Amino acid sequence: VIGVVIGKTDVRSFPDRKNIGAERYTFNFTIRDSPTYFINVQSWGREEYIRSLSESFRVGDCVTIENPLIQSKDAEREEKFNPVTPSCYKLLLSENHSVVKTSSCYDTDTRLLSLLHLPVKDPQDYYSLGDIVANGQSLHGRVLNVLAAVMSVSE
């Protein structure tokens, strides 16, 4: 699978239920290869493997994923912490079988770069900041999708 990384989480650790006292590490990212299709990728493993893999690419990089495991996703659980994707599957990376290679999008396919700036939600499913300000009271308690641009970042 070749795609551009459109989102990525930080590395997290969890107690390993099989080895008491040990930790398992994970991080997720989302790749996109067309305007319509994108998929979440989950990786689990030893701390060294997960940290090294996470540091090997960033959002905006093109990646080639070889030998991922394809799994059905549990939509209710998976989509709490990851972007909602049009696929009913996710990719799972294994330290022993999977390989992630990074390359320049220019080297791979310049069309992939344009996918970075496409929203992952239906364009009719957004509220603008103006809508929220004008209708805030009636929107109270609702979960909304917001489409906005960051104008500045400061302390």
What the chain holds in terms of domains, given with CATH numbers, is: 2-115 (2.40.50.140)
What is the distance between the alpha carbons of residues 17 and 93, in angstroms, rounded to a whole number? 20
Strands 89-93 and 38-45: parallel
Strands 2-8, 23-32: pairing kind: antiparallel
C-alpha angle 60/76/45, rounded to 5°? 55
**One pLDDT digit (tens) per residue for the chain, 155 residues:** 889 999 999 999 988 888 888 889 999 999 999 888 999 999 999 999 999 999 999 998 899 999 999 999 886 666 666 777 888 899 999 888 999 998 766 555 677 777 877 777 777 778 888 888 888 788 888 777 887 778 899 98
Residue type, 48: E
Q: Which tokens in the block code for residue 65?
A: 């994923």
